[in-house]
Structure 1
Amino acid sequence: MHKLFSYGTLQLEKVQLETYGRLLKGNNDVLFNHKIEQLRITDPIVLAKSNKEFHPILIKSFSSEDKVEGVIFEITDEELAQTDLYEVDDYERVFETFESGTKAWVYVKKAT
């Protein structure tokens, strides 16, 4: 099993059902030294699942004042691969440590 931090559309029931075929269970947590910006989505499959043109995207801020609240879900290997497909090319998956001490995957803005 993997742990995955969601701060956006992966928390939506419709997205979970269409991506994983089930509703996920998780716990609230916080990621420090990051902030959220908005990303315009053009991928038609992602747009159909989320019904949202703009999705949040995490940016590393290096400021202890910045924090992002979200949920850490437990997902399978297959579900992690499905999440990689759902997240568009502007995102990359990284491993971070959260306020609770939990280590989890999270999708952030891809380094350019």
Structure 2
Amino acid sequence: MQKLFSYGTLQQPEVQLALFGRLLAGNQDSLPGYVLGSVTIRDQEVIRQSGTAVHPILQFTGNAADKVPGMVFLISDAELAQSDAYEVEEYQRVEAVMASGNNVWIYRDANDKAPYSD
């Protein structure tokens, strides 16, 4: 199983049902060293599933006082691939360490020049 941090539309029940065919169970956690920005999505299918063209996006600051709250979900390898297909080119998936100490996958700004493992 894979651990995936969600801070945005992947927390929405309708998105989970459309992508995975099920509702995900998870635990609250926060990601230090990041803040939320926003990105305008152009992919019409993603807009249809999420209900909005403006999505949050993680931006690295490196400041431990900056934290983004969200949920950590346990998903299968196949579901991680489905999640990758849902996230548009403005996002990149990298590993990060949560406030809890858990290593997880995150989707952050693809233009971010921060280290790949935070």
Structure 2 distance, partners of 1:66, 1:101, is 16
Aligned residue for 1:55, secondary structure, equals strand
Q: Which residue of 2 aligns with 1:46?
A: 46
Give the length in aligned residue pairs. Answer: 112
Instruction: Please show how residues 10-29 of structure 1 align to structure 2 within 5 Å.
Output: 10-29=10-29
**Which runs of 5 or more residues in structure 2 are unaligned?**
113-118
Aligned-pair CA distance for 1:65: 2.1
Structure 1 distance, partners of 2:4, 2:73, is 5
> Taking every aligned residue pair, what percent have the same amino acid on both sides?
46
Instruction: Give me the CA root mean square deviation.
Output: 0.8
CA offset digits 1:3-49 (Å, max 9, x no partner) = 00000000000000000000000000010110000101110110010
Aligned residue for 1:100, secondary structure, equals coil
What TM-score, normalized to structure 1?
Answer: 0.97
Structure 2 distance, partners of 1:53, 1:25, is 25
Instruction: Please show how residues 10-89 of structure 1 align to structure 2 within 5 Å.
Output: 10-89=10-89
Structure 2 distance, partners of 1:52, 1:16, is 15
Aligned-pair CA distance for 1:111: 2.8
Aligned residue for 2:36, secondary structure, equals strand
Structure 2 distance, partners of 1:3, 1:56, is 19
